[in-house]
Each structure stands twice: as C-alpha cells, then as structure tokens.
Amino acid sequence: MSDRAIRSIMVAGDGLVGLSAALAFSRAFPRIKVTILAVPPDPAALTDRLPWTLPAVGRFHAAIGFDELDLVRRGLACHHLGTRFEQGATSWMHSFGEVGRPEGAIPFHQLWLRAFREGRARPFEAYSAASVIGAAGKFVHPSTDPASPLSTYLYGLRLNPDRYRAALVEACAPLARIAGEIMAIEQNADGALAAVLLDDERRVEADLFVDCTGPSARLLSVLDPSFVSWSDWIPSSHVELSWGAASLPTPVDLVRREGEQWHLSANVPGATLNATVLLGERSAIHPGRRPAPFTKNVLAIGDSSVIPGPLLGLGLSLAHSAILRAIDLFPGRDTNPLELAEYNRLTAQEQDRARDLLALFHIGETTRELPASLARTLTQWSARGRLSFFEEESVTADSWAQTLLGCNILPDAVTPLAQVVDSNAAATAMNELADGLTSLAAQLPDYADYLARMGAPA
Amino acid sequence: MTQASAKTRVVILGGGTAGWMTAAALVNQLSSSCTVQLIESEEIGIVGVGEATLPHLRAFIAMLGLDEAEFMKATHATFKLGIEFRDFGSIGSRYLHPFGSFGTELGGVHFHHYWRRLGAPPESLFDCSIANVMADRSRFARPSADSNSALSTYNYAYQFDATRFAPYMRDWTLAHGAERIEARVTSVERDGEGGDITALLLDSGARVEGDLFIDCSGFRSMLLGQTMGAEWEDWSHWLPCDRAVAAPCASPAGGIEPYTTASAMTAGWRWRIPLRHRVGNGYVYSSAHLSDEAATDALVASLESEPLADPRLLRFRAGRRKQSWVGNVVGIGLASGFLEPLESTSIYLAQGAIAQLIDLFPIGRVTDADRAEFNHVVDLEYDRIRDFLILHYHATTRDDSPFWDHVRTMRVPDSLAEKIELWREAGRVSKYSHGLFFEPSWIAVYVGQGLIPRHWDARADQFDAAQLVAAMDRLRGQISNTVDAMPDHADYLGQVA
C-alpha cells in the first residue's frame, strides 16, 4: 500500500445508503478500516426508506457480493419491470429496456411518431417488451439470445427495506460499528474533518468521512453548507408511507396523480407499499443537490448529496452509482482537489439529468426558466424528436421517449431521415412486433408463479 | 409549388474531400428530403493532405454500402493501426498511438494502474496492446466482433491517396443522384432581410438558387467566413505550425508499414504515410521558426528515395470559426476550422459535422435551435481534439530549439492543464464519452511522452506483485503469439485489394 493511501473510513449513517456504502468500500478496499457510525435515522432521508432500484442494481450487487436469487429466496427483493402512470384519463408506462426496434440510425420513436401522425400507431408501450409483459402481470428473466424479443428488456429490483437493511447489517458484521449521536465536529487548520465527537465524549477519527446522514448532510454541511434547490422545477412534497399486507405480486407499480397528490403503490416481498405524496409548501422533502458532494475529506452520498424526491424512486440508484464512482475515482489521503473535482463533475452531470427527467412530470406547472440542459432536450425533441447527447446521461433514450410522450410532449415533426424507411413497411413491422409481444406475454408464467418457481417465500 | 421544389435545395460549394463526402452522405441518407448540387472548379486544386484517417471512416464507407476492397484499390489504400511518434517527448524516444486498448481490466480496474503499480517501463505497457505489436511487426488481420476475443480490442483505419478519395466519392455520388456544376463562383446573392444566401452567381453566367448552402470551399471559407462573416477563433498560440511542405517519394523495397509516422523536427514535425504505390511525406512547421526554404530542404533531405513530384507548399492556421452554421450556411471541413494532421483528424471532423447535419437537417426553415445544437456539438469536437494535439507538443523535455522551448513552456488551456494534472497525480483520464480520443489514446500519449503518474488506483495494491508480473508476462506472450500467426500487412493487402 502506498503511503498516500487512505487507511480509514468512517461512514456516518446506517440506513440503506450508509450500510451500502460501508459494505462497498470494505469490499473494494479490504485493507481500509471501515467504521459505521450508527447515528439515529433522519425521517426525511427518503432514500433509506423507499424500495426502488433501477436495472443498474445488478452491477452494485455484484460489487457487494449480493446474489439476486438469494435475495429473492430470502424474501428481500422482487423484480420490477416498470411503473404505470395515470392522471385523469391518460395512462402510460415507464418501463426498463428498449421500446421497439430502431431501423439503422433511425430511433424507433421516430418511426412510431410518423405512424402515430398517420393514425396507425398503438400506444408507445405496446412496442416495449417490459411494458407488455409487465402489464400482463407476467415475468421471466430476459433472454441472453439477442435474436429473442425477450432480450430487449431489463428489470430493476424492489426491496423490502427492513429485510434488505437487515441483510446489509449482517454483511457489515465484520466492520466496526459505533452507536451514538454526533455532538460536535473537529476540523483541521486546512478545513478538513479531523474527528467526530459523540455524545458519550468519544472522539472518532478517520482519513475519509462518508456522510450518509440524510438531507441535513451533518458532516458535509460543516465544510460547505451550500445546496442547489430544484424546487423551481420539482415541487417540494410531504410523503406518507404506509406499509400494508402483501398482495398478489405484480412486476409493475402504479402511480396516480390527483390534483396536488401523487398516490404510489408497489409490491415488495411480504408487504405492499402505499405512498401519498402531497405537493406543497409545508413539506419535508425539498429536491435539490449539493454542488460539491466530495469536499476535502468528506464524501456525501444519498440524500446528503442529492434529493430527487419520491417519483421514479431514483434515490437509491443514484447512491449506488455515486458509491461505485467514488470507488473508481478513489483519491489518496491528500484528497487532491483535482481528483475530487472529477468526481463532482461527473456526479453533477448524472444528477442534473435525473432532475431534468423528474421535472418533466411538472412541466407546465412552473413559470420559472427551465434548466439549460432540459430546455435543450425539449427544444430538440419538440423540433424533430431528437434526444440531445449529454455526458453521464443517467436516463436512457427509451426512458426519455416514454416520459416525454407520457407527459404528452409530442414533437412537431418527424426527422427527415425516417423517410428512408417505407412508411407502410414500417407500420407492418410495428404491428407484427406488438402482436408478437402480446402473444409472447400470454405464454409466460404469472409473476407469482415465477417467484414461487425461483423459491421465493409465499 | 412543384414536386421538385418541395425538397430542400442543397448547394455545396467545393469539391474536395469534405464536399464530396457531404454530397455522398446527403444523397445516401436524405434523397427524399433534398436535392444536391455541387459546384467545383478544376482550376482550384484541392488540399488533399488528409491521407491518413481514423477508424471512424469505416462506418462512413459501410453506410454508403461501398465495397471495401474496391474502395481501397481505387484510393491505393493501406491499412492503418495507429500513429508512430518519434522524438516528441524527447529526442530519440518513440511510441505508437494504437487504435486499440492496453491489456485487460482486472477487478474493474484498468490495466495501466497495474502496470504503474509494478513500476514497469513504458514498453511493457505498449507490448500489451495488440495493435501496437501488430504495427511493430507489420502484421495485419481484421478485428473480431466477439468481445471475448483479444482480437476485439483494436480497430483499423486507412492510409490512402487523398487526391483519389475525393474523385472516388464524386463518381459514387454522381451515380446516386447529385448534380455537379463546373464553375467558379463570382458573387453571392443574399436575402435583404435575414441575410441568408439565396443564390450563387457563376462565371458561366448561371445562377444557382438554394435553400441550404454547404461551404466546403476550404481555407477560403467563401460563404461561411467571407459572406456570412463567421468569426475566427485563433489557436495558433497553442498550435503554432502554420505551413506544410509536402512531397511524395517512391515506396522502399520490402514491406508496407500499417501505420503512419510523425517525427518531431526542430520547428514542427514530419509525416510519413505508406501507401500502395508511394510514400506520402510532409513537414508541418511554424513559419515564425523556420523559413520555407529551410523546411523544404529538411523535407527533401529526409526522404528515403527520390521525390516523385516537386515539393508543394500549404499555408494554414490552427483554429475554428466561432460558429460553423450561420444563417443558412453550414461550413464543413477546412471552411469551418483547421487542426493540423498530427492525429489524422481532418476527415473525421468533416465526417462528424456531416453526421450532425444529417441529424439536424432543416425541416422547412432553418431554426435557431438547429444552428445552436449543431454548433454546440461541432465546438465540443474541436475543443477536445485541440487539447489532445496540444498535449503532444507540451509534454516534452525538448529544449533544442526556440520552437520546442515555446511549446514546452507555453500556458496551455485550463481544460488541458487539469487533464494533465489529474493524470500525473492519479493516473486517471478525465472521462467523457462524446467526441474523439478516449482513455487508451490519452494513455498512449501521456506514457509515450514520459508523463508517468505519481499514483495509481488503490485497488491495484490488492494483488500480489509476483502474480501480477506473471500475468502480464503471460498476456504479452499471448499477444506476441497471436500476432506472429497473422499475415504480413503487404501480403494481406495483396489478397484484399
């Protein structure tokens, strides 16, 4: 080990985010002493309480040695193909994986748009395997054969937060664990964190402090209290979570908007989550991000870095991504500002695109000027259905297209490139694709049966 | 409105590489949306120094559905696996920037961190790039599409006769529906209100109307620069080379190298591009540091065989137009900007701009949003390549001439200074995924020019050093055996084209 290496990490916070970070760092760097400081949970730390992960969860689980089959059999996780959004008479799906098939350089949504203008397109979701299979209440693992339509989708996992947390605690057992309340923070002359002083007068030192304390960012905010609010575009909210008895599992969640309320319902193993999101001023959840989540020797992850709000359940996936990025860009003990700047640059790019996607759900409700990146996306989408490229784009093109169309934002014109493909031939191929997906879904097992076959608890 | 005029009328000025590539792509991709006319004059020569290309050109050839063998035959092309740099970091040093990666990832950590941790010499890193070893031994075989195969870790481009490439594109394009007009433009007619170009008046007396004008007139930038007044952003303080003298010579007996060579000289650098029938040579230099006569003498003295033509002088300036799309005029190629051919980027820049033009092709009227998006993407490409080129000059210990003293000590753009420092400190390559030159390219130039990082990824410490050494030796052995089993480049060429 070089003499510049970080020797000790203290992770403050033992919710899903803190435990995930502690476990991932200890796996990546076995020689580093990782200590978990179990500070009392912050009720506003929504990311520690919501069950959702995006398909990228597979990569994170591989990094911490979690096996999906094991998680399913132990009743910790079940699969997630997408979410149905309903508002008034409109209904649309946000699902994982591809929608339709592109023709060379022409994205499918362009062909769909042309067919739609010609009055011969089915709803966009009819061309997505995840949507069709999910809507039918079916599930199988995607195929690895690229020729199969079953290879075109992905899935996330929905977690039972209590059980999943218990599994993380178990996996973190070899790590040092200190329970206590943070009373004071000691800084070095250069501003870096020297130690955390606890209520029992203990003093905990570390080379690197990972702040997973929730929105208040109790460590990071000492070094840098600044916060970039997104409330101009994503309203603040009050979130009530209610956990009920398990119901028949489906791979799709339902989100319904009624006036100033969102109602979310989702299956997790052993329970059903019903959440009510009240939009408005007297709120606990204020979306936004910290401009420099990695400052000196403090790295904020989870709600202490970014608060995306409850919709689409992006919090835990953004935390996973941040943890893996921190491991990839792990600095030395000197925490060279250039290395941290690279981390902060990439993290901000990723988080801002998540913000842009979430802002779509409230577009038209704000008179504020949109963020430049979202304005660019909307301008290019509206003009010709183009999805502009962004570095560290955290949202797939298919996600953008589903959400833009779902929010009823239609391009004014189809790209001239689409004319290369004959309109009748394209329409026929689209019909065949949608029919094929429907009949394929009919042959697949019900999700409950599939779970039982995997050995999930009843 | 007649059926024909419902289409966007595209008028391309200039029939060099950029002009004919643009015409070919438009005819191929947007024939139902536009008509294409190209005005060129045989009296005006083409620059045609873009003899060395990047692997991206393969996608262009494939898009047009061209037969590779036929294309290579027509342009006297050879395969290219990278660029060899001599005397850049210091006199006597050499390395090859390969079109491929170094080694294999282990535990999610990129190979060069293990190499650095072992404190091994630069050669042992380069020997873990299959493209580098192929180039060293003048071997060639096609890469594999199977991502599990070591043969999938490299790519290739072409070295060809640029004076044959443009005519080849022209013949293809004319057969596929574009119209060629042989004439010189005498004046430009503009719309009084918006200032858009409405027509070009020709020396033949003809008047060519259009909706969209593509300026491929080369350095003159007759429409974009002269007519629309697109401002020039000068980069010559970072890239002072502003002249080139070029002369072909006969191919030496024996093999044909599957790579281009760039040799640093006292006031710039010299290219050597081996083609089927000859070798292309040129000296790119700074006129502030060297006279044209001295440059010509130095080039001629360096030739390995008799020159096949008189040395030809080219003048240019590094930089780009602040906007490449103004009004209804889009600059593509040298009319939009110029970066010296040190990393063979000229044709790539044209190709990238063409791809954006197609994606942003006007629907009805040109909008501000189209222009803004196009200019945004084109600027990004230029800025990134600029930084990469400056690195070749700045990462040096050479102090043998005023030219090298200048580039070694100059203040580089902040964007590059930060990249270099991140590498020197931590062995990390600043990440981006849009544009040109990703991690392996930066690593090649950094290490090849003597910038060795102080530190490495902490995860690389977890493996036993002796095991790592053994694993690297094994990898080198496998690469060496794989390359030895490949055909000689010249023999392979003989079979394909």
- Select from B370, B426, B459 the Cβ nearest to the Cβ of A336: B426
Rounded to an integer, the average pLDDT of B157-174 is 94
Amino acid at the residue B331: G
* Mean pLDDT of all residues belonging to chain A: 95
How do B260-265 and B82-86 pair as beta strands?
parallel
Alpha-carbon distance B30 to A159, whole Å? 49
Rounded to an integer, the average pLDDT of A366-376 is 93
- Among A298, A332, A343, smallest CA distance to A37 is for A298
Q: In chain B, what residues touch A24 (CB-CB under 8 Å)?
A: none
- Select from A341, A388, A391 the Cβ nearest to the Cβ of B432: A391
* Mean pLDDT of all residues belonging to chain B: 94
Q: Which two tokens stand for residue A324?
A: 């893996």
In Å, what is the CA distance from A444 to each residue of A55, A306, A438, B297?
21, 39, 10, 77
Q: Which two tokens stand for residue B357?
A: 């033009």
Contact B358 A376 (CB under 8 A): no
User: Tell me, what's the pLDDT at A243?
Assistant: 96
User: Tell me, what's the pLDDT at A3?
Assistant: 75
Are A355 and A287 spatial neighbours (Cβ–Cβ below 8 Å)?
yes
B167-185 pLDDT per residue, tens:
999 999 999 999 999 999 9
Neighbouring-strand partners of residue B396: none
A165-180 pLDDT per residue, tens:
999 999 999 999 999 9
Q: Is the pLDDT assigned to residue B4 strictly greater than 50?
A: no
Alpha-carbon distance A297 to A220, whole Å? 9
Neighbouring-strand partners of residue A254: A84, A265
User: Tell me, what's the pLDDT at B3?
Assistant: 41
Q: Is the pLDDT assigned to residue B112 strictly greater than 90?
A: yes
Q: What's the gap in Å between the CA of A106 and the closest CA on chain B?
A: 10
- How much is the ipTM here? 0.92
Alpha-carbon distance A11 to A20, whole Å? 10
Q: Is the pLDDT assigned to residue A313 strictly greater than 90?
A: yes
Q: Is the pLDDT assigned to residue B44 strictly greater than 90?
A: no
- Among A387, A323, A385, A316, smallest CA distance to A357 is for A387
Alpha-carbon distance B152 to B145, whole Å? 6
**3-state secondary structure string, A47-72?**
HHCCCECCCCHHHHHHHHCCCHHHHH
Q: Is the pLDDT assigned to residue B49 strictly greater than 60?
A: no
Contact A338 B367 (CB under 8 A): no
Q: Which of A1, A342, A346, A381 to mutate to test the interface with B (most CBs of B within 10 A)?
A: A342
In which band, very low, low, confident or very high, does the pLDDT at A2 lie, cut at 50, 70 and 90?
low
Neighbouring-strand partners of residue A252: A82
Question: DSSP of A298-362, one letter per residue?
Answer: EEE-GGGTEE--SGGG-HHHHHHHHHHHHHHT---TT--HHHHHHHHHHHHHHHHHHHHHHHHTT
Chain A positions touching chain B (beta carbons under 8 Å): 1-2, 4-6, 28-31, 63, 105, 327-332, 336, 338-339, 341-342, 346, 376, 379-380, 383-384, 386, 388-389, 391-392, 413, 415-417, 419-420
User: Tell me, what's the pLDDT at A242?
Assistant: 96
Instruction: Check B7, B73, B80, B431 and give the catalytic one.
Output: B80
A266-295 pLDDT per residue, tens:
999 999 999 999 998 677 899 999 999 999
User: Tell me, what's the pLDDT at A360?
Assistant: 96
Contact B426 A332 (CB under 8 A): yes
**3-state secondary structure string, B299-343?**
HHHHCCCCECCCCEEEECCCEEECCCEECCEEECHHHCEECCHHH
- B-chain residue closest to A334, CA distance: B425
Q: In chain B, what residues touch A146 (CB-CB under 8 Å)?
A: none
With vertex at residue B220, the alpha carbon angle to CA B216 and CA B223, rounded to the nearest 5 degrees, is 60
Rounded to an integer, the average pLDDT of B482-492 is 96
Q: Is the pLDDT assigned to residue A451 strictly greater than 90?
A: yes
Q: Which two tokens stand for residue B175?
A: 């057969």
Sequence-distant (6+) residues with CB within 8 A of B59 are none
Rounded to an integer, the average pLDDT of B464-477 is 95
Are A61 and A24 spatial neighbours (Cβ–Cβ below 8 Å)?
no
Sequence-distant (6+) residues with CB within 8 A of A405 are A92, A109, A124
User: Tell me, what's the pLDDT at B1?
Assistant: 35
Neighbouring-strand partners of residue B319: B234, B338
Does the annotation count B80 as an active-site position?
yes
Q: In chain B, what residues touch A329 (CB-CB under 8 Å)?
A: 426, 428
Contact B359 A386 (CB under 8 A): yes
Rounded to an integer, the average pLDDT of A204-231 is 97
Q: Is the pLDDT assigned to residue B192 strictly greater than 90?
A: no
- Among B135, B115, B133, smallest CA distance to B125 is for B115
- Select from B358, B367, B455 the Cβ nearest to the Cβ of A383: B367
Of A372-376, A400-404, B424-428, B434-438, least confident by mean pLDDT is B434-438
Rounded to an integer, the average pLDDT of B405-418 is 97
pTM of full prediction above 0.80: yes
- Among B126, B128, B131, B127, smallest CA distance to B142 is for B131
In which band, very low, low, confident or very high, does the pLDDT at A393 lie, cut at 50, 70 and 90?
confident
Chains A–B, number of C-beta pairs less than 8 Å apart: 93
